[in-house]
């Protein structure tokens, strides 16, 4: 099946999923979410695919949600973030956790917002030296979503989770490795080869063993993932109706610092 915002390829048991909106650093749109959902719930779930490698085309993994095309308009004229998350984005993240095979993320550049959530939803993640991760939602008056309020504290603990959520700072790849957000860091020009080697090894490994381990770890680490996703969607939907979000989004698109008022 052909996609406009993604590239899906299968070879020797390995499915390669490339986020393919390089002009926007692979920002998520509604179409992007629909196509990701189709791949994760369809082609990637095929038993012939024994491992999945996710990476980004161009200079980045994903810059997060596209503020112009990433949401649907609600009847009140504001973004219907609740619907966008529940119908188009959450199925991707839950689908990655439910896949009964290893999913490896290769972070080739900026990994931000829901792009960061996707990376952390994967079972393993490796990064280029120049890559960074960021929960940048706060910088536009929003809160972390895409399951990151589950994935991040489970990975880095309370202090660092609050630091990422409230400060919206970049976590450079070496620091991300120290914190446990990624499993390895490689020189930029070696990332693709290292990712291919690891993913191919996983595709040739004991698939049912991987699936059983993943199911047990899901139950242990993320037992409340879906209810937390619902809470994130509810809270994010309300934040999209605040003056601070309007200011944050306008400032981001204008490339200036926001002036938040708390309203």
Residue 49 lies in a domain: yes
Rounded Cα distance between 7 and 52, Å, is: 13
The reply to whether 181 falls in a domain is yes
Give the closest residue to 67 by CA, choosing from 263, 254, 253, 258.
253
- Cα 212 to Cα 101, 200, 235: the distances in Å are 9, 19, 33
pLDDT at 74: 86
pLDDT of residue 121: 98
Residue 79's domain comprises: 6-188
pLDDT number for residue 14: 98
Q: Is residue 175 part of a domain?
A: yes
Residue 253 lies inside a defined structural domain of this protein: no
CB atoms within 10 A of CB 2: 7
Q: What does the pLDDT read at residue 70?
A: 77
pLDDT in tens, the chain (263 residues): 789 999 999 999 999 999 999 999 999 999 999 999 999 999 999 999 999 999 999 999 999 999 888 788 888 888 899 999 999 999 999 999 999 999 999 999 999 999 999 999 999 999 999 999 999 999 999 999 999 999 999 999 999 999 999 999 999 999 999 999 999 999 999 999 999 999 999 999 999 999 999 999 999 999 999 999 999 999 999 999 999 999 999 999 899 999 999 99
CATH number of the domain where residue 137 is located: 3.90.226.10
Establish if 40 belongs to a structural domain: yes
**Does a structural domain hold residue 226?**
no
- Report yes or no on 1 lying in a domain: no
Number of domains in the chain: 1
> Would you call 1 exposed, middle or buried from its count of C-beta atoms within 10 A (0-12, 13-18, 19+)?
exposed
| 59 within domain boundaries | yes
| Residue 73: per-residue pLDDT | 85
Does the reported pTM lie above 0.75? yes
């Amino acid at each position: 099946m052909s996609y406009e915002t993604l590239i899906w390829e299968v070879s020797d048991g390995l499915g390669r999923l490339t986020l393919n909106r390089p002009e926007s650093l692979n920002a998520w749109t509604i179409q992007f979410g629909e196509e990701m959902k189709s791949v994760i719930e369809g082609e990637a779930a095929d038993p012939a695919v024994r491992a999945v490698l996710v990476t980004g085309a161009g200079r980045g993994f994903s810059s997060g949600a596209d503020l112009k095309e990433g949401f649907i308009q609600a009847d009140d004229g504001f973004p219907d973030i609740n619907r966008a998350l529940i119908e188009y984005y959450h199925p991707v993240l839950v689908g990655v956790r439910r896949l009964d095979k290893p999913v490896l993320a290769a972070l080739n550049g900026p990994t931000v917002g829901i792009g960061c959530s996707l990376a952390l939803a994967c079972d393993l993640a490796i990064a280029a030296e120049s890559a960074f991760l960021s929960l940048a939602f706060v910088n536009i008056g929003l809160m972390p979503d895409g399951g990151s309020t589950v994935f991040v504290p489970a990975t880095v603990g309370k202090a660092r989770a609050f630091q990422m959520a409230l400060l919206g700072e970049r976590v450079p790849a070496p620091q991300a490795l120290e914190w446990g957000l990624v499993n390895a860091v490689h020189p930029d020009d070696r990332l693709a080869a290292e990712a291919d080697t690891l993913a191919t090894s996983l595709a040739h490994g004991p698939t049912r063993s991987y699936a059983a381990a993943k199911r047990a770890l899901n139950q242990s680490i993320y037992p409340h993932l879906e209810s937390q996703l619902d809470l994130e969607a509810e809270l994010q939907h309300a934040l999209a109706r605040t003056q601070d979000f309007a200011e944050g989004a306008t400032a981001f698109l204008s490339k200036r610092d926001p002036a938040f008022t708390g309203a």
